[in-house]
Amino acid sequence: MSDHIVKAYDEDLESIKTMIAQMGGLAEDQLAKAVDALSKRDTDLADQVIQSDEKIDAIEVSLEEKVIKTIARRQPMARDLRDIMVAIRIASDLERVGDLAKNLAKRAHAIPDTLPRRLSAGVVRMGRLALEQLKNVLDAYATRDDVKAVQVWRNDEEIDALYNSIFRELLTYMMEDPRMIGVCTHLLFATKNLERIGDHATNIAENIHYLVHGRPIGEERPKKDTTSFTIFESTNTQ
């Protein structure tokens, strides 16, 4: 392969990496604003998040087009092809994070200002955890830091544990006061969105490990979401 072709190929890979960084930055910003909008019931900020989601989608489309052209022109070998395919997977996860942040922001329109502070604080804490996971895993991708990626992968248990705690608390509120069913339902959806964002950060971490080592993480994913059992348990105690 000539020096010119190698240089052109390196430029293509760098361009793809830059697009991932752009998507990641936007996804972080969207999530931070969505959590802020929900906690403060700031509908103007929520609308900004909703309207900005198209930017992430547009970059993903451009990245996919770039990948197709790169594969067609360069015919990459195994390691380089792995780099490209991982980028596509990560872009897909980031696009979903943007969608989930948008859905989270929409809840700001539906949740009243009378929301109990304890419930609001739990959602905000979960949002900060999800944002921290996202930031750390994007840093790990930028530096190809597998150790940091695996730490994100393991830390998903913390988000799941907080989600389970909030889920049970919301069920208790709904059972004790039927007037809370509407607002608690919106909060259930909001916390589920945050739990799913944690899952997407975990997906990215797994792909970083694969990128670095050429093999998947040799352990079962740490998953502590017990909400299906909680629903079943609560239904049978009525």
**What is the domain extent for residue 159?**
3-235
Q: CA 39, 177, 103 angle in degrees (round to 5)?
A: 35
The answer on pLDDT for 133 being more than 90 is yes
Cα 187 from Cα 163, distance rounded (Å): 11
At 226, which CATH number? Answer: 1.20.58.220
Tell me which amino acid residue 212 is.
V
Cα 199 from Cα 194, distance rounded (Å): 9
The answer on pLDDT for 238 being more than 80 is no
> How many domains does the structure of the chain reveal?
1
Give me the mean pLDDT over the 13-41 stretch.
94
Q: What average pLDDT does the structure give for the chain?
A: 88
> Which among 104, 66, 88, 94 has a CA at the least distance from the CA of 188?
104
> In terms of C-beta distances under 8 Å and separation of at least 24 residues, what long-range contacts does 9-18 make, across chains too?
9/70, 9/74, 9/76, 9/80, 12/66, 12/69, 12/70, 12/73, 12/74, 13/70, 13/80, 13/83, 13/84, 15/66, 16/63, 16/66, 16/67, 16/70, 16/84, 16/87, 17/87, 17/142
Cα 70 from Cα 63, distance rounded (Å): 10
The answer on pLDDT for 4 being more than 60 is no
Work out the pLDDT band at 76, boundaries 50, 70, 90.
confident
